[in-house]
Structure 1
Amino acid sequence: MYARFPRLSRLALVAGAACATLGVSVAHAATPEEQAVLAPFQALLDGIGKRDHAMMRAALLPGGMITLKRGDKITQLHFDAFIDHIPTSGDKQFAERIHDPLVRVDDDIAIIWAPYEFLIDGKPDHCGTDIAHLVKRDGKWLVAGIADNQHASCAGK
């Protein structure tokens, strides 16, 4: 399956991992509502780290998209296509750690803006900023869209 889309699968894998193990501590959120907003985003990242497609889908609003900025290239994928390109097995360990998340909530919409560092097998690969917007549906926060960029010049790389 990945041989047909070698560039896309690598991009999705890195982005997935980037979104994946986003080691954000929900404890960093100041209010219970901010913690509730961060929870599905963290669940998505945990699902990517565990390579668990069902776990990822449970955190997402169907029909949403991810936008990835890599250098001068912008790639957009619907969530289903993004998830389908994340392998369900593999031996590399991915971890993305965000810090100082900015969370803003207005009634039933919210955003998360957070700098991140992405690690492969414990070593920095890249860094950047993650932005997620969420909506509350039937009392539950869901990630409706994600955008991130990538920088190769991270401290410690």
Structure 2
Amino acid sequence: MDEHPTFPPRGLLPFSQCVGMAESAVDNFAYIHGRLGTRIHPGDVHFREGVKSGQALIRGWFAFNDERPIDTRALLLASDAFPPSVFNLDLPTAWVPTIELTVHTRAIPAPGPVACIFSTRYIQNGLLEEDGEMWDSNGVLVAQSRQLALAPRQ
């Protein structure tokens, strides 16, 4: 069987070097991120200050603040716990309502934070897709996600 692992995903920095979502969360995101130890790659979080990277990409780490193990059900939460990757494009940083979310769990995660990467390739007719990968601390791809959503509007 051929395997083509890519870990860590696309240059993701270590957990300790990423930005805590609880510190940077605003509005209704603050409640959930106060319970999670979720962190975002420093180059992917500048949209909060109005600086857009021009790449529909969000990389980071998913964990719980109380250090509970991440099981396959927690991967469902991880798939939707990060800001939309399109926040890094020249689009409004606004509501991106989900139409459909599919998560394929592939393995039970090893102990430790889960590395996540979310990206969008197509935005057309007011719709976008966001694809996600979730990798455990051993470099095993434990879940993949695809979300169909409405594009943000003013």
- TM bin (shorter chain): 0.3 to 0.5
**Per residue, is there more helix in 1 or in 2?**
1
With normalisation by structure 1, the TM-score equals 0.33
Q: Which has the higher strand share?
A: 1
